[in-house]
């Protein structure tokens, strides 16, 4: 009889996981933020931060329901104009 009590159990879903998303709420909209892990040209894992908005310009079934964007890190700056988040023309979830 083998002892597996000290070994963590990893199921098939855990092995296939490549990222995570969180539902967020800003003052006037909902959106997803999170990350995915992809392999670069050298075979190294790279974590990419994302934000996902609903596509408010969808007119046909062939148009996407969501738009995915790389999330850029916010820079700290003393300028009030630059510190304002950019308005996104996508209606969020």
For residue 1, pLDDT over 50 is answered with yes
Segment 87-92 mean pLDDT:
50
In whole angstroms, what is the distance from residue 54 CA to residue 91 CA? Answer: 6
Among 3-7, 12-16, 43-47, 70-74, the least confident range: 3-7
User: Measuring CA to CA, which residue among 69, 73, 64 is closest to residue 88?
Assistant: 69
For the chain, the first-to-last Cα distance in angstroms comes to 51
Cβ atoms 40, 29 nearer than 8 A: no
pTM higher than the cut 0.75? no
Q: How confident is the model at residue 28 (pLDDT cuts 50, 70, 90)?
A: confident
Give residue 47's pLDDT: 95
If you search the block for the tokens 């892990």, which residue do you land on?
Answer: 37
DSSP string, 63-79: S-SEEEEEPPPPPP-S-
DSSP 8-state symbol, 7 = S
In whole angstroms, what is the distance from residue 62 CA to residue 27 CA? Answer: 30
Give residue 73's pLDDT: 79
User: Over the stretch 35-44, which tens digit does the pLDDT of each residue have?
Assistant: 999 999 999 9
For residue 67, pLDDT over 50 is answered with yes
In whole angstroms, what is the distance from residue 42 CA to residue 10 CA? Answer: 27
């Amino acid at each position: 009889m083998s002892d597996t009590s000290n070994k963590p159990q990893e199921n098939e879903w855990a092995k296939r996981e490549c990222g995570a998303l969180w539902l967020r709420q800003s003052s006037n909209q909902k959106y997803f933020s999170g990350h995915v892990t992809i392999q670069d040209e050298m075979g190294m894992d790279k974590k990419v931060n994302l934000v996902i908005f609903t596509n408010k310009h969808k007119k046909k079934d062939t148009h996407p329901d969501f738009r995915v964007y790389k999330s850029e890190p916010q820079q700290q700056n003393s300028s009030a104009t630059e510190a304002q988040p950019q308005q996104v023309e996508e209606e969020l979830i």
